[in-house]
Amino acid sequence: MMLDPINHHFQAHEEAYYSRFFNEQRGLHMIKVLPGGVYVSGQEELICTGLGSCVSACIWDPVKRVGGMNHFLLPFHNHFEEKHWHADELLSGASRYGSYAMEMLLNQLLSLGARRERLRMKLFGGAQMMGFHSMIGEKNVEFVLHYAEQEGLEVVAYDLGGLEPRKIMFDPLTGKAWLKRIPFAEINHLRREEERYAHTLEKQTDKGSEVELF
């Protein structure tokens, strides 16, 4: 599902914001969450995404065995706004959109029977992508860490910031996550994907090797 920063609802065109495919090697269906997307599940499947400057929260309830992932960045109108924004500016458009992206994931998990006090969180992304909003990754990281602290959500692992984009896989039943650094040859594609997403947000608001984290 796609987050709409203007109307604050999920747009109905789900197929545009995540794709499902069968991974023969793993013998599981995999769901790729695209920029602006949210996906939750209580099934035996893996949720995956590619992250540059964007961030993803992977949240699950280990008792109910449901989990989900979002994929978002904060929308800024210009470099000045981006540079001077701080996470405690709760009423800014960027903060409201980031909070909404998190709340949509949390609310969908609760609708599947998760309990807020049992939720665990892993955070990924926020790389500094050369040539693309040099501070946006840093601001995304600042926001998501501040949000988790303010909401009392337990962050059990994270891999944030730095210069390298990431690929993430997440098991919604167990909370296991795998991270792989994205090779240089794939960076341009990911950058273009995130730039298109950022431009969409601007228009709407105007108008390596795998490592298991545990």
| 146 within 8 A of 126, measured Cβ to Cβ | no
Give the pLDDT of residue 131. Answer: 57
Segments forming the whole domain that contains residue 103: 2-213
Using only C-alpha atoms, the chain has a radius of gyration, in whole angstroms, of 16
Give the pLDDT of residue 14. Answer: 44
Number of H-type helices and E-type strands within the chain: 4, 13
Rounded CA separation 140/71 (Å): 11
Rounded CA separation 146/55 (Å): 13
Residue 26 in tokens: 């793993």
- Domain of 105, CATH number, reads 3.30.1330.200
Which residue type sits at 97? Y
| 119 within 8 A of 108, measured Cβ to Cβ | no
Give the pLDDT of residue 81. Answer: 67
pTM above 0.95, yes or no: no
Say which residues have a Cβ less than 8 Å from residue 77's Cβ, sequence separation at least 6.
Answer: 93, 202, 205, 206
Give the pLDDT of residue 203. Answer: 62
Q: What are phi and psi of 137, to 5 degrees?
A: -60, -45
Q: What are phi and psi of 53, to 5 degrees?
A: -75, -25
Per-residue pLDDT tens for 40-69? 999 999 999 999 999 999 999 999 999 999
| 164 within 8 A of 181, measured Cβ to Cβ | yes
Q: Residue 154: name the closest of 69, 72, 33, 58 by CA.
A: 58
Give the pLDDT of residue 12. Answer: 34
Please identify every stretch of the chain with a pLDDT value under 70, giving residue numbers as ranges: 1-16, 75-84, 87, 89-92, 130-134, 184-186, 201-214
Domain count, the chain: 1
Give the pLDDT of residue 7. Answer: 37
Give the pLDDT of residue 95. Answer: 74
